[in-house]
């Protein structure tokens, strides 16, 4: 099974799907998928589970580019400037799609902050465990 858990840099990895609110609280977490598994497969599994992920009526989840655009999910536009570093004080969004991606990137910082706070609180998450995989 070890091969399935290998990531791009040949380190063992595991995919994690998380839902984070604006208070940096994790409201849904699904772990255990191999590092090579595509985001769409993990999302489908999360939705199909009895206690799985559900998008409340009239609400949307901000998702990364690995997900398809479907009801309740808001991925960024592909092929359009996205990262905050691509927009500086003199480089403004030139169209609606760039503006959307700029706002999307700004909101995604909340998710990155939540994971940063989690890693700072539980340092073992950032390091290779010293015990065997079965443990």
* Residue whose tokens read 């309740």: 72
Q: Is residue 22 part of a domain?
A: yes
Q: Is residue 31 part of a domain?
A: yes
What CA–CA distance (Å, rounded) separates 108 from 122? 22
Q: Is residue 113 part of a domain?
A: yes
Give Cα separations from 14 to 3, 33, 102, 115 (angstroms). Answer: 12, 6, 29, 15
Q: Is residue 58 part of a domain?
A: yes
pTM for the whole structure: 0.72
Could you read off the pLDDT of 46-105 as tens digits, one per residue? 989 988 888 888 888 888 888 888 888 889 988 887 776 666 666 777 788 888 888 888
What CA–CA distance (Å, rounded) separates 91 from 111? 25
Q: Is residue 132 part of a domain?
A: no
- Which structural domain, as residue segments, surrounds residue 63? 2-126
Could you read off the pLDDT of 111-126 as tens digits, one per residue? 888 889 988 888 877 7
* Residue whose tokens read 């359009």: 80
How many structural domains does the chain have? Answer: 1
Q: Is residue 134 part of a domain?
A: no
Q: Is residue 106 part of a domain?
A: yes
Q: Is residue 133 part of a domain?
A: no
């Amino acid at each position: 099974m070890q091969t399935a858990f290998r990531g791009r840099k040949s380190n063992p990895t595991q995919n994690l799907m998380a839902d984070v609110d604006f208070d940096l609280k994790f409201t849904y977490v699904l772990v255990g998928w191999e590092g090579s598994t595509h985001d769409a497969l993990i999302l489908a599994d999360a939705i199909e589970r009895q206690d799985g992920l559900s998008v409340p009526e009239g609400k949307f989840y901000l998702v990364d580019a690995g997900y398809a655009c479907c009801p309740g999910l808001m991925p960024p536009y592909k092929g359009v400037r996205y990262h905050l570093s691509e927009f500086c004080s003199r480089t403004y969004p030139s169209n609606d799609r760039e503006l959307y991606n700029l706002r999307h990137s700004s909101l995604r910082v909340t998710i990155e902050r939540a994971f940063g706070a989690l890693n700072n609180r539980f340092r073992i998450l950032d390091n290779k465990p010293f015990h065997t995989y079965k443990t």
